[in-house]
Structure 1
Amino acid sequence: MAKPPTKPLKILMLHGFTQSGPLFRAKTRALEKNLQKAFPAGAPDAWGWWRRKGEDPANAVYDGLEAGFERVAQVLKEEGPFDGVIGFSQGGCAAAFVASLLDEGRRDAFQAWEKQGGMRYPSSLLREEEVVHPPMKFAAIYSGFKATENPLYSAFYEPKIRTPTLHFIGTMDTVVEEKRSLKLMEQFEDSKDRVVYHPGGHFLPSSQKQYVGALIGFIKEVLGRGGTNNAEENAEDMDVPF
């Protein structure tokens, strides 16, 4: 078993659409408790969303996105630094946004895409012309999806996101279909062997041993505290502390 971290493990938690921080925390209490058992000093926290607008879903605009980033930036500034980010559903899309924005060199990508109609790099994430937070060490995305194909958002995905990421997909999810989650997964450099399927719908599996074990093993792996290389194949065999 890996030794406890010498400093608190901090994870930014991003809830889904029409949810709130307290509601999402209530839904993820079991996951939080299991993470705290594996990383005793852990302390998840919350926020971030928008509303989709436009008749064509494939080319829609995310209204309120800047306000969402302002809230995330506030949490990063006041409560960071965070080790990683976890997001569910719309929060999964947002978690990919956050991981991307904190990537080294991402501002250059935004400047290049801005000339082609892309959005500007969010000013709320800058302080004295420097990004307010270092790159995330990991991301875990549950029932996430890629943003619309609107050129506004191209800079988030091109070049691909470098943050190590584990994707969870429900085989019975009818809210976010598998192909949408896989499309998001393809936007990450290390997408191979980074997906875990659970036999459920649109929810976050926060108490089943094999799925919590996959997350814990992944975090240990990317933080250099032990773990396995293939979460999907070895989740059920992991020695987890609960």
Structure 2
Amino acid sequence: MGSQIQRKPRILCLHGFRTSGEILKKLVHRWPETVLEKLDLVFLDAPYPALGKSDVEGIYDPPYYEWFQANQDFTEYTNFEECLAYIEDYMIKNGPFDGFLGFSQGAVLAAALPGMQRDGLALTKVPKIKFVILISGGKFGGLKFGHTKLTSTAFSSPVECPSLHIIGEMDFLKPASTELLDSFVDPFVINHPRAHTVPKLDEKSMEVMLAFIERIQKTIPTDDEPHICLNAEAN
């Protein structure tokens, strides 16, 4: 009999607005090794250089990037389709990936991806998204963010892939993050006392995190199982 090796969940990490993959990596790597050793984390820079001042200037070194652009009231978006194509191209060349971790703008984007993929509007050439980890997120068509053309049905029915939502008590996106919970089936939730950041994990948060990792590990094929694409015709 061939041995079946259970691999770690492979996660594509999407950073916040006008930051970078390297900055998100530094924040996430404050988590305990007992969490990090169970995950295969890949940090991607967004496709567009920051078009304005970054909130982390003077705290973290540039360069800074953004996934897409929006007008002031988040009703019109630029470069959104191009952003999706960029992510899918990276996943095709460097995958397969099992799920997404997103922070801030990256979390808003990651939250919509399972529904867009379900509807055949994004990520049609890569395996189905198995889970998402959303830190300081929100949803298109919700309290803060208007819809793009491609996200109009992303939350039309409950998103069934496992989700972990990390919500800050002092975060300006707390209402949007809380609203997002209703769009997912049986979400895992970590609440923390801080503002708009990737928090360190206390004992209670660790319990939730490890329970979520145990849950998503069940969705990961062993190394000798095939990876199934949504689109049977995709190469």
Q: TM-score, normalised by structure 2?
A: 0.71
1:209 is displaced (CA, Å) by 4.1
SS state of the match for residue 190, structure 1?
coil
Which residue of structure 2 aligns with residue 50 of structure 1? 68
CA-atom RMSD, angstroms? 2.5
- Determine the C-alpha separation between the residues in 1 that align with 2:23 and 2:197: 13
Q: Deviations over 1:75-132 (max 9, x none)?
A: 21112111221111111111112222333xx12xxxxxxxxxxxxx24xx3xxxxx22
Secondary structure of 1:197 counterpart:
strand
SS at match of 2:176: helix
The correspondence for 1:82, drawn from 97, 104, 111, is: 97
The alpha carbon displacement at 1:171 in A equals: 0.5
What is the count of residue pairs matched by the alignment? 191
Provide the C-alpha distance between the structure 1 equivalents of 2:5 and 2:117, rounded to a whole number of angstroms. Answer: 23
Query: 2:229: which partner in 1?
Result: none
Moved over 6 A (4+): none
Name stretches of at least 5 consecutive residues in structure 1 with no aligned partner. Answer: 108-120, 126-130, 226-242
In the other structure, the counterpart of 1:229 is: none
> Which of 137, 142, 147 in structure 2 is aligned with 1:150?
147
- The separation in 1 between residues aligned to 2:24 and 2:16, in whole angstroms, is 8
Q: Could you say which residue in structure 2 is the equivalent of 1:167?
A: 165
**Corresponding residue SS for 2:43:** coil
Q: Does 1:180 align with 2:176?
A: yes
**What residue is the counterpart of 1:214 in the other structure?**
208
Distance 1:65 1:10 in 2: 24
In structure 2, stretches of 5+ residues that fail to align are 47-66, 220-235
* Distance of aligned partners of 1:182 and 1:30 in 2 relative to their CA distance in 1, 3 Å threshold: same
Paired position in structure 1 for 2:132? 139
Counterpart of 1:128 in structure 2 is none
Q: Which amino acid aligns with 2:195?
A: G
| Counterpart residue type for residue 91 of structure 2 | L
Q: 1:32 to 1:12 in 2, by over 3 A?
A: farther
Judged with a 3 Å threshold, the aligned counterparts in structure 2 of structure 1 residues 8 and 190 are, in CA distance, closer, same or farther, namely closer
Cα distance in 1, alignment partners of residues 177 and 41 from structure 2: 27
8 Å contact kept, 1:87–1:140: yes
1:1-242 pair list within 5 angstroms:
6-31=6-31, 33-39=33-39, 42-48=40-46, 49-53=67-71, 57=73, 60-103=75-118, 106-107=119-120, 121-122=121-122, 125=123, 131-147=124-140, 148-150=145-147, 152=149, 153-174=151-172, 176=173, 178-191=174-187, 194-224=188-218
